[in-house]
Chains A and B, each alone.
Chain A
Amino acid sequence: MASASLPAYNPSPLENSSSSQNASRESLKMEPLADVALLPGEERVIDKDLIYMCPFHGALKGKVFITNYRLYFRSTDMESTVTLDVPLGVIGRIEKMGGASSRGENSYGLDITCKDMRNLRFALKQEGHSRRDIFGELFKYAFPLSHGMPLFAFLSQEKFEENGWSVYNSIDEYRRQNLPSEQWRISFINESYELCDTYPVHLVVPYKATDEDLRRVATFRSRGRIPVLSWIHRENQAVITRCSQPLVGMSGKRNKDDERYLDIIREANGTPRLTIYDARPNVNAVANKGCVFCLLEWLLVIPTAVTEATGGGYEGDDAYQNADLVFLDIHNIHVMRESLKKLKDIVYPNVEEAHWLSSLESTHWLEHIKLVLSGAIQIADKVSSGSSVVVHCSDGWDRTAQLTSLAMLMLDSYYRTLRGFQVLLEKEWIGFGHKFTSRIGHGDKNHADQDRSPIFLQFVDCVWQMTKQFPTAFEFNERCLVTILDHLYSCRFGTFLYNCESVRDSNKVRSKTVSLWSLINSDKAAYVNPFYTSDCSRVLYPVASMRHLELWVNYYIRWNPRIRHQQSPVEQRYKELLALRDQYLKKLEELQLSDSTPSSARLTNSSTPNAPLPNQHLTHLQTPF
């Protein structure tokens, strides 16, 4: 019968791409860490010979180096060199695998779970407690906060051309939006975080509301997170305001101040009906449908609030007569965490290929993406039609941040620029207190913490979906998004550290750490989409149908060497050519000037940034770290 001596079609000539086959024997004799540039402030902690149990290339002998910032592994195999370069901040959990007496080859060692969709396993020799020291050191440096040590961001001595901390200044951003205005003022009431300790210092509130009003409203909003303006439509003056849930409790309590305050927001641009978007699933639907997740959510919400003497809830029809309440059916942080866990199960280490699409469907990840996007679309649509909106969920720092920032990306082309996107993150996520520390668990060993959840990742995924649907509307590229996610975990920069501004202030983050935007803005060319069309200023409505969403393969399956990264060659080639063109044009101009007039003052003054050479791009385009 048919001979099967010829292997099945192997579509992955790049399988070994991560291992540089042609690494010369010469270089292997060198001190393996010599070619890895340590970051300024980075120090070596411990080295160890061990075996990396690579899920793609099998067991690989090599050496691991732990510094106070990273875990670096290099195989000493002669045939191919595999390296791993993992910031310790990415590590979520370290466990000992096997015991001194366990049998089987390579059954004794360390099992590391990472926050960025991969796991790492190392095997060691069984005799002599060989893993004790490396486990101890790794555990200490991966979870410094659990050991009374500082995060690496506070030790880093990195210097950059650009200072990322100057990217965002709330007053400048409000000015850009033509604020303050006749209807809206900038309040300094939270200057020392007294009104709300999880809000930024500068708040934009209705001109007609006094500081006393704000204080009274704060008593009725969970954690004092009162409705404040975060974006205003230039033409129709409709606003996006954000807040936490009202504390109506089980008994349906009312608060006249809160009701009046929302009505002032409505009046500001003469909106006949204010629309309140509650990101959560409809409580009535919950009762009717008996949806387990929804029920859980509301059961969880109310008791937690009860412990603070008042219960949460939503704005009832009777109390808020000029407002319409819309539920957006987005599930809570626990649901999202489980969904991502399921996604990881089907993509790492091996992709569940037999029933790929139905497996993907069963994770519900894309369905959640769809709900978040379609919620944001509804908000953007309402605002561009001239109606002001209030957006909240329970506390107003997870789903609310997703919705407001996505709606703003749709409405305001400024946020689609490289800098504008940074401003958006600074404002809606960092400024308004998305709890990065709790959601990511920076430097904390407690991996099972129920507060952890991939809310920010989900948001970035939504942004990526938008960039896919509008390939020329965003100035930043996919690499920029991946870099942001990498440093969400890395703890190399201060940008995503801590839960809110007040804690950031007390830890002097701005003076003691470097901003992620310093890295990105010092090398902008690498993060820019060459097909960006700056005049695309209209409102962008992505299609949020399941049919139009795809899995972000280049992120979620990026550790699998079989996945080809598709976007980069286009961008790379295009950038190389543009850079070359700039060089030539400059040279031409020089030649022309030197031909006509000897003085070239104009040229030297118009200091166009030096176009980088193409081969520089090549080196830049390797995976970060």
Chain B
Amino acid sequence: MTMEFSEHIKTANVDDVVLKLPLRPALKGTLCVTAHHLVFSERKEEGSYQLLLLLRSVDAIEKRMTGLSGSSGTIVIKCKDLRILQFDIPGMEECLNVASSIEALSSLESVTELYPFFHRPRELSLSEPWGLSSPQQQYAQTERLWDRWRLSKVNRNFSVCMSYPRTVIVPCAIDDITLAKAASFRQGGRFPVLCYYHRSNGMVIMRSSQPMTGANRKRCREDELLLQAAIDESEMGYIIDTRSAQQAQQARMAGGGFESKAFYHHWRRLHRHLERGKVLQESLIKLVEACGDPSQNMDRWLSKLENSKWLSHVHSALSTAGLVAECVERDGHSVLVHGFEGTDTTLLVTSLAQLILDPASRTFRGFLQLLEREWVQAGHPFRQRCAHSAHSHARLRQECPAFLLLLDATWQLGRQFPLALEFSEVLLLRLAQDAYASDYGTFLCSSEQERCALQVKENTHCLFQFLLRREEREKYVNPLYEATDLAIWPSVHPQSLQLWTGLFLRWTEYAQTMDEAREEIWTIVKERKETDRPKGCAHTTLSRHDSFTNVENLMDELTVL
């Protein structure tokens, strides 16, 4: 342990601490503060309970003195995964020491001090690959892209766009010099790049940030050329702006703006207003407040749920993504998506549209690749957005649950199409947790550039690689998955969207019974496999192989199912 950490730990161990967890009887044991964890061990000979809590996952901490003349204290820890724990600690000084350690160690500023840089499980090696795929691989695998799209390394030093990866896919007709000029016309240098190619009709989805037209309606020939090169002369493209028309107008006053019809002849602009930033964060806070309301009187639950507006944000996200997918698949147009910075709602919409359209992104690996491409590599600022979740009393800075909203919308898709996704809710819950606090480096930092500078890939393990390991993967697979090539069009009517109870009411009894049910379903599927397999083996000597293979195939399908 380095010096900095130990400075924060004045009391490392406290005995006779009482831990109160939701839905569990109180436990008595020893609480230990380490550089990155709170460790609680129940004092019992056998089957004792152990809690290992990553300090990074602490969202807020409340302390109060109890007992006679404040002889003991209580610490309430509200976690970013919405769990609430309570420790009763004997001794005022110990209590205060523990609390201040937690406060300091849960909000370490330097990325390289965070736990992923120290997490060294025996079964993983740092030499294993980090990440699942790169733009190069994506490009190499999509042969049909080649005649019209090329890989560009214009950003190899992150000098054109700080938040883009080193390589991006752009139209062949546009050279790097033009790209660099177009980039200077887009906020943060995020010039239009390809993010999805629709095989059935060759249409694409691109994303960018807003053009910096400003109050004087500046134009940029290179940006116009870039967009023109993305479609044929005869075609019409759509720009889905995730702001309202009014917001887009107002953005001009701050130097931003939108693509004017006069200069982008072959592009039509549609505005779909998605909330962002603070509004989303406050919506999450309201929702979590309503979910945690301990009062038995739930008369107003549905009103509270409605007032939080969370479900209407889910609605906007899904219906805008639906619109994009509709443009691409039903009407055969290419689409450019952007809002302001192009790092939040833009990614939300492009990734959901891909889930709707692309069967490959609905597989376990494909979904993780989608997240890697559209969120990690595309520069969603995880570090700022996920600094705190719904409990923190800290003044809101740049927190925004855009990624959580993506996971929620994905859950709604899974609920409406129970066979279509290869992964289950458990994976979404795991990702929701790891985006805020993790043992792995995947969600650290806000861009590839930052990751390189801090050598994240050299010094942490990759969550996605870990999840795809055989023994992990099994926990997250949807037993009912059945691949379909069709687009899955979600219903976005309010009565079709449900609160994601698995996440927001996760620490209640309900979630536990659902977990049990999930296990039972797995057991049914597995038992069938096990009881039937030996029978199958006994028959291998049989001459009638055709019938046997039929059964084999069927068993495999049942197992997947």
Contacts and interface: CB of A to CB of B under 8 A. Distances in A.
Contacts of B490: 11
Contacts of B270: 2-4, 6
User: Which 5 pairs from chain A and chain B are nearest by CB?
Assistant: A356-B494, A361-B302, A357-B306, A9-B322, A9-B323
Interface in B543-558: 543-544, 547-548, 550-551, 554-555, 557-558
A12 interface: yes
Contacts of A3: 268-270
Nearest to B258: A2
B320 A587 contact: no
B301 interface: yes
A360 B306 CA distance: 11
Contacts of B241: 2
Interface string A544-568: 0111101101000100001110110
Contacts of A9: 319-320, 322-323, 326, 492
Interface string B11-36: 00000000000000000000000000
A347 to B, nearest CB: 8
Interface in B529-550: 532, 535, 539, 542-544, 547-548, 550
Nearest to A354: B494
Interface string A578-604: 101100110110011001000000000
A548 B510 CA distance: 8
A377 to B, nearest CB: 12
Interface of A: 1-6, 8-13, 347, 351, 353, 355-358, 360-361, 366-367, 370, 469-473, 531, 533, 536, 543, 545-548, 550-551, 553, 557, 562-564, 566-567, 569-570, 573-574, 577-578, 580-581, 584-585, 587-588, 591-592, 595
Contacts of B268: 2-3, 5-6
B416 interface: yes
Contact of A546 (B301, B419, B493): B301
B172 to A, nearest CB: 28
A185 B528 CA distance: 44
Contacts of A553: 495-496
B418 A547 contact: no
A588 B524 contact: no
A348 B218 CA distance: 52
A584 B492 contact: no
Residue of B238, B416, B489, B493 most packed against chain A (CB within 10 A): B493
Given A471-B521, A564-B491, A584 B416 contact: no
B415 A566 contact: yes
A563 B322 contact: no
Contact of A581 (B415, B548, B551): B551
A585 B535 contact: yes
B233 interface: no
Nearest to B327: A6
Contacts of A366: 302
A469 B508 CA distance: 13
Contact of A11 (B301, B493, B521): B493
Contacts of B492: 9, 11
B539 A573 contact: no
Nearest to B271: A2
A472 B301 contact: no
Interface of B: 238, 241, 245, 268-271, 291, 298-303, 305-306, 311, 319-320, 322-323, 326-327, 331, 415-416, 418-419, 480, 482, 489-496, 498-499, 501, 505, 508-510, 513-514, 517, 520-521, 523-524, 528, 532, 535, 539, 542-544, 547-548, 550-551, 554-555, 557-558, 561
B520 A580 contact: no
A332 to B, nearest CB: 19
Given A588-B547, A588-B551, 5 more contacts: A355-B306, A356-B306, A472-B524, A546-B299, A547-B291
B178 to A, nearest CB: 27
Nearest to B323: A9
A583 to B, nearest CB: 9
Residue of A353, A566, A578, A588 most packed against chain B (CB within 10 A): A588
A361 B300 contact: yes
18 contacts: A5-B268, A9-B319, A9-B322, A9-B326, A12-B489, A353-B494, A357-B305, A357-B306, A358-B302, A358-B303, A361-B301, A473-B517, A548-B505, A562-B493, A563-B496, A569-B418, A573-B480, A584-B550
Contacts of A351: 493-495
A361 B327 CA distance: 36
A472 B491 contact: no
B206 to A, nearest CB: 17
Given A357-B303, A471-B521, A536-B520, A545 B298 contact: yes
Contacts of A564: 416, 491, 496
Contact of A587 (B238, B419, B547): B547
Nearest to A367: B299
B521 A531 contact: yes
Contacts of B323: 6, 8-9
A279 to B, nearest CB: 19
Contacts of B306: 355-358
A574 B561 contact: yes
A591 B536 CA distance: 12
A564 B489 CA distance: 11
A570 B416 CA distance: 11
Contact of A1 (B245, B498, B548): B245
Given A3-B269, A9-B322, A547 B301 contact: yes
A194 B192 CA distance: 86
Nearest to A532: B524
Contacts of A470: 513, 517
A597 B509 CA distance: 55
Contacts of B491: 11-12, 562-564
Nearest to B239: A2
Nearest to B487: A13
Nearest to A550: B498
Given A357-B305, A361-B303, A531-B521, A584 B419 contact: no
B521 A584 contact: no
Contacts of B517: 470-473, 531
A3 B268 CA distance: 7
A336 B514 CA distance: 30
B496 A577 contact: no
A10 B495 CA distance: 15
Nearest to B291: A547
B553 to A, nearest CB: 9
B552 to A, nearest CB: 9
Contacts of A588: 535, 539, 542, 547-548, 551
